[in-house]
């Protein structure tokens, strides 16, 4: 078993135990997240903070020279959008995507009586309004949870599930999610997709062309930052579009709580 311990002192000391070998290294002060790799699907450590300091705890046996994985997404509080804007890459699965229904947002701004207008606060109490924001947890190209709960995203950065476990958890979650809400998410996702200037198929062709150009530049020994940035931007928008399409597909095929007869 490999154990990690990092104390927040003047210097950061990492004690890394590989079998009977103890390696002690001193690092200049830097974010502990930067000492681990990000991959929501390959997490093999979890983070813990107590009075003694900050700990990185192995979730499984980790051999010497194996990668140490955690997440930069902070247990589901940060989305794939946040990861891209902060770190500049599109993360592997699982992904969390969020978007807002701009049409509802515009209507709420224009009409103070609109159902989605924020209530504000009264006597120090803040009231939650109807939301025009949506979220989806994407586990694979075909598996996703619409409007995931806090418990559903909590494993990100703390432990990991098998795909079979995820499928069961998501199925259970969807049976408690109102069908009317799933339909609203579907309509919003499809409307957003239709409003974008390029389709998934067009972006795939553009991405292939841009990657080919970047490879030619790289083979020639040149560093083309703008072309590399272009590839990353296309990868990002393509991943988001695929997530939106998956939302529509899941809303159509999954079984949700039937609220059609509710008053």
Domain segments of the chain as ranges = 3-70, 80-253
Task: Say how far apart CA 9 and CA 53 lie, in whole Å.
Answer: 8
Choose between 253 and 42: higher pLDDT: 253
Is the pLDDT at 238 greater than 90, yes or no?
Answer: yes
Sign of the CA dihedral running 86, 90, 95, 100: positive
Is the pLDDT at 25 greater than 70, yes or no?
Answer: no
Choose between 171 and 53: higher pLDDT: 171
Sequence length of the chain is: 263
**String of b and e for 27-58 (b: at least 16 CB within 10 Å)?**
eeeeebeebbebbbbebbbbbeeeeeeebbee
The architecture of the domain spanning 80-253 is Alpha-Beta Complex (3.90)
Choose between 194 and 110: higher pLDDT: 194
Choose between 69 and 76: higher pLDDT: 69
> What does the pLDDT read at residue 157?
60
Task: Say how far apart CA 22 and CA 15 lie, in whole Å.
Answer: 7
Range in 61-70, 132-141, 190-199, 211-220 with the lowest mean pLDDT: 61-70
Task: Say how far apart CA 159 and CA 237 lie, in whole Å.
Answer: 28
88 Rama sector, left if φ>0, alpha if ψ -120 to 50, beta otherwise: left
pLDDT band at 66 (very low <50, low <70, confident <90, very high): confident
**String of b and e for 72-111 (b: at least 16 CB within 10 Å)?**
bbeebebbbebbbeeeeebbebbbbbebebeebeeebeee
In the beta sheet, which residues pair with residue 102?
none
Query: HSE on the CB side for 206, CA within 13 Å?
Result: 17
Is the pLDDT at 10 greater than 60, yes or no?
Answer: no
For the segment 93-112, the average pLDDT, to the nearest whole number, is 75
8 Å CB contact between 22 and 16: yes
Task: Give the residue among 79, 71, 73 at the shortest CA–CA distance from 100.
Answer: 79
Task: Give the residue among 85, 73, 104 at the shortest CA–CA distance from 187.
Answer: 104
> What does the pLDDT read at residue 75?
53
Q: What is the pLDDT of residues 111-128, one digit of tens each?
A: 666 555 555 444 444 444
The C-alpha angle with vertex 43 and arms to 157 and 158, in degrees rounded to 5, equals: 30
Range in 6-20, 86-100, 134-148 with the lowest mean pLDDT: 6-20
Q: What is the pLDDT of residues 132-168, one digit of tens each?
A: 689 999 999 999 999 999 888 877 766 668 889 999 9
């Amino acid at each position: 078993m490999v154990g990690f311990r990092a104390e927040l002192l003047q210097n950061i000391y990492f004690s890394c135990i590989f079998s009977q070998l103890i390696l002690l290294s001193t690092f200049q002060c830097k974010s502990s997240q930067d000492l681990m790799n990000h991959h929501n699907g390959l997490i093999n450590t979890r983070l813990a903070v107590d009075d003694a300091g900050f700990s990185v705890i192995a979730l499984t046996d980790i051999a010497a020279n194996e990668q140490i994985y955690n997440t930069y997404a902070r247990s589901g509080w940060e989305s794939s959008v946040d990861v891209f804007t902060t770190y500049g890459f599109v993360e592997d699965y699982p992904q969390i995507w969020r978007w807002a229904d701009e049409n509802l947002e515009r209507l709420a701004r224009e009409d103070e009586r609109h159902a989605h207008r924020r209530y504000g606060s009264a006597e120090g109490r803040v009231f939650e309004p109807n939301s025009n924001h949506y979220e989806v947890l994407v586990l694979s190209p075909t598996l996703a949870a619409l409007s995931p709960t806090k418990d559903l995203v909590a494993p990100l950065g703390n432990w990991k599930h098998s795909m079979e476990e995820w499928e069961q958890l998501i199925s259970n979650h969807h049976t408690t999610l109102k069908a009317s809400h799933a339909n609203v998410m579907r309509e919003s996702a499809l409307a957003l997709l239709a409003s974008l200037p390029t389709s998934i198929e067009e972006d795939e062709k553009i991405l292939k062309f841009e990657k080919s150009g970047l490879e030619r530049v790289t083979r020639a020994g040149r560093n083309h930052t703008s072309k590399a940035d272009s590839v990353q931007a296309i990868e990002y928008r393509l991943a988001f579009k695929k997530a939106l399409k998956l939302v529509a597909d899941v809303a159509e095929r999954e079984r949700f709580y039937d609220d059609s007869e509710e008053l």
